[in-house]
A and B are shown apart, each in its own frame.
Chain A
Amino acid sequence: MQKTLKKYFAFFALPTVIAFTIAFLAPFVMGLYLSFCKFTTITNAKWVGFENYIKAFTTDDGAFLSALWFTVKFTVVSVLTINILAFALALLLTRGLKGTNLFRTVFFMPNLIGGIVLGYIWQLIINGVLYYFETTITVKASYGFWGLVILMNWQLIGYMMIIYIAGIQNIPGDLMEAASIDGAKPTQILFKITIPMVMPSVTICTFLTLTNSFKLFDQNLALTGGGPGTSTRMLALDIYKTFYGRNGFEGVGQAKAVVFFIMVAAIAFIQLRATRSKEVEN
């Protein structure tokens, strides 16, 4: 069996390799090449070297950097709130309360709605509330910021909660029992047993929330569109606006996208290394 598997490995892997090349590798390499070109469509690209990368950081008074700063602030806040709230909900819903299944389903549902739709729904809700104060979400950047945080929390908490629930249910019951017999207090059980034991879930959840927040686009576009001005524009939206905003800047948008890719990859890698090292075997 092992031998035949080895023999035919290349053959069976081929469809996936082809699909991966067509759908990911080829566009990626082309994108990398285009970031060094001035182009309107991908067929009339002209090599310009590093010019696009320089422009990426200098045009619009460094709008790219302010978008980066806004994205970082947003990511830090939403990763913290989402994970803390999701974990708290997971703890609550593993207590065997009545209607646990119903609650789990209800909390999970927002995750099934697409980003653009969510963005518009929350825009209506938030503007509906702000209407009584004669203002809208685009009056101040901070309104847009907290609007985005609320929206992201609402969407992702349910999903992360499910992952944490799975993690908590995997903790062997005898560990808990032993701890309580030894006289551990609930807070001690939480910090000394539950949290260390669900570290694999923490790894996955921080990874998902971190990358999702960092790459956020649909919700940003639909909720504030970057307004007021460009003050709530996150990286992905900034790239989009650069690409389509003015003629001849497609290459600059592409260069920003490459920088963006490197950042996302680096952050995800560092985060995975950091949380992996805290995982324990059960």
Chain B
Amino acid sequence: MKKFLALALTLAMALTMLAGCGSSASSSTPAASSSTATSEAAKGSVYFLNFKPEQDEAYQAIAKEYSSLTGVDVKVVTAASGTYEQQLKSEIAKTDAPTIFQVNGPVGYAAWKDYCADLSGTDLYSHLLDKSIAITDGSGVYGIPFVIEGYGIIYNKKILAAYTAMDGAVVKSADEIVDFATLKAVVEDMQAKKDALSIKGVFAATSLATGEDWRWQTHLANVPVYYEFQKNNVDLGDTNATAEIKFEFGQQFKNLFDLYINNSTCAPTLLGSKSVDDSMAEFALGQCAMVQNGNWAYGQISGVDGNTVKPEDVAFLPMFIGAEGEKGQGICIGTENFFCINGKASAENQQASIDFLTWLYTDAAGMAHVTNDLGFIAPFDTFGDDVKPSDPLAQDVLAWSGKANTNNVPWNFTVFPSQTFKDNFGAALLEYAQGTKTWDDVNTVVVDGWKTEKANAAG
């Protein structure tokens, strides 16, 4: 027995040693690849940490093509949804750190400014259509936006047409919805006639589960905050001016939020269990007529099994909240995706990364990938008017941005103080929807939270 035990122990030890060798062998592979990289040191290599999981496949294919074209090694790693900051924090500390990464605006830049290289002299920046949307600090340019996105209330044209054809419909066409009062009248009338329209509710579920509430605490909140900044002529670049908000249009936020939760597919008390996927599925299956989301969600709509919504049946409505002078308000168009080049990477790698991005956004082959495979509306002058993404929501965003006498709302939520602010706001909204908090409480959470979080970020 003792002999057997000794044998077993020896075996176990031998195995651990083998395992040790095994792991060291596997860890030597990146070393090997980096040694091939050093042999091509002059060329440098590119490591892009991607934020959008839905575009991972497209990026991998692009990276492969670029490598075979130029011989430059391009590695694309995609962070799982909602873990970009975590991934970036751990990856950038490595020797083999990302050379291209993304920040989400001024607040993201504040966290990563030690790592951002100045891009003002690059070709890519010179091609940027609207230079004011880049992230600048002093005379330097540290983040270049690479995609324009839009969001609003996505509606199902077929269901709305069925409604407008009914006797006693409030409006005769979607174009007549030009302010909150009309929107409210239409939605409430549709909700009353939901059985005749064979829908479960007008709006898809207002997803308020943890981590699923960004459509409200960020996107919807953008509209009242935009009106407040407009009214007070706030300069977004001035950190003192945005240190506090009064949430003056909070009541208007409540207007639209109440409309969402009270004319929905489910009771407000159930919203804590709903995710964005649930909402998009309800819309795709034709169980509801409207859902607030952006053009990126089209893939989610068309990807649902048993999807009944045809591409030509989706379009955007502006998110009217009942603010003064909202006639002519458009959808929310902007970006929270900025490329940054890792300033702590080697000079060759930085140059290789800039070359890669320049190729992607200025070369015909690269641009074809951007429009067709990534489905981006790119904000660069190299993209002619004839290059348009194929998905209907992105096309509608373009249509809105070109509309005359329309005031599209920019994405001011890039100055929202922190994730904690958004999380607390979302949690307060959930409690309001459940009836365990009053609107005044939500108001306090927003105003106080903004102030303390801005102070936290500054200190």
Contact = CB atoms under 8 A, between A and B. Distances in A.
Interface of A: 15, 19, 40-44, 59-60, 123, 127, 131, 134-140, 224-230, 241, 244-250
Interface string B416-439: 011111011001101100101000
24 contacts: A40-B111, A40-B112, A40-B114, A41-B92, A60-B420, A134-B267, A136-B272, A136-B273, A137-B272, A138-B430, A138-B434, A139-B272, A139-B434, A139-B436, A227-B210, A230-B424, A241-B420, A244-B419, A246-B417, A246-B456, A247-B457, A248-B111, A248-B459, A249-B456
A140 B436 contact: yes
Contacts, number: 94
A135 B270 contact: yes
A50 B257 CA distance: 43
A101 to B, nearest CB: 26
A229 B419 CA distance: 14
Contact of B272 (A41, A138, A226, A249): A138
Contacts of B428: 229
A40 B271 CA distance: 35
B230 to A, nearest CB: 27
A229 B431 contact: yes
Contacts of A41: 89-90, 92-93
A79 to B, nearest CB: 27
B16 A137 contact: no
A249 B111 CA distance: 10
B272 A247 contact: no
B107 A247 contact: yes
Contact of B17 (A15, A43, A127, A138): A15
B209 interface: yes
A275 B430 CA distance: 44
B211 interface: yes
B110 interface: yes
Given A135-B434, A246-B456, 15 more contacts: A15-B16, A15-B20, A40-B112, A41-B93, A42-B93, A43-B93, A131-B270, A136-B273, A138-B210, A138-B434, A225-B209, A229-B427, A244-B86, A244-B419, A245-B423
Among B90, B110, B423: residue with most chain A CB under 10 A: B423
A246 B89 contact: no
A229 B272 CA distance: 11
Interface of B: 16-17, 20, 85-86, 89-90, 92-93, 107, 110-112, 114, 209-211, 267, 269-273, 417-421, 423-424, 427-428, 430-431, 434, 436, 453, 456-457, 459
Nearest to A138: B272
A145 to B, nearest CB: 15
Nearest to B427: A229
Given A59-B456, A245-B420, A139 B114 contact: no
Contact of B431 (A60, A228, A241, A247): A228
Contacts of A140: 436
Given A41-B93, A228-B427, A127 B273 contact: yes
Interface class of chain B by DSSP = helix
Interface class of chain A by DSSP = loop
B272 A245 contact: no
B272 A227 contact: yes
Among B90, B93, B112, B420: residue with most chain A CB under 10 A: B420
A137 B92 contact: no
Contacts of A127: 273
A19 B456 CA distance: 39
Nearest to B90: A41
Contacts of B111: 40, 247-248
B210 A225 contact: yes
Contact of B418 (A131, A138, A224, A247): A247
A44 B114 CA distance: 9
Contacts of A134: 267, 269-270
A224 to B, nearest CB: 8
Contacts of B273: 123, 127, 136-138
B270 A136 contact: yes
Nearest to B423: A245
A136 B271 CA distance: 8
A226 B210 contact: yes
A31 to B, nearest CB: 14
A134 B272 CA distance: 11
Given A135-B269, A137-B273, A139-B269, A40 B211 contact: no
Contacts of B86: 244
Contacts of A229: 424, 427-428, 431
Contacts of A60: 420
Nearest to A250: B89
A225 B273 CA distance: 11
Q: Which 3 A-B pairs have the closest CB atoms?
A: A225-B210, A246-B418, A138-B272
Nearest to B92: A41
A250 B210 CA distance: 21
Nearest to B431: A228
A137 B274 CA distance: 12
Contacts of B424: 229-230
Contact of B110 (A135, A247, A249, A250): A247
Contact of A228 (B112, B418, B430, B457): B430
Contact of B430 (A227, A241, A247): A227
Contacts of B427: 227-230
Contact of A246 (B20, B210, B419, B430): B419
A248 B420 contact: no
A249 B110 CA distance: 13
A24 to B, nearest CB: 16
A229 B20 CA distance: 45
A207 to B, nearest CB: 25
Nearest to A55: B456
Contacts of A224: 210
Contacts of B423: 241, 245
Nearest to B434: A139
Contacts of B417: 246
B426 to A, nearest CB: 9
A245 B457 CA distance: 11
A110 B459 CA distance: 46
A127 B457 CA distance: 37
Nearest to B112: A40
Contacts of B420: 60, 241, 245-246
A230 B421 CA distance: 12
A247 B271 CA distance: 29
Nearest to A227: B210
B372 to A, nearest CB: 35
Nearest to A19: B20
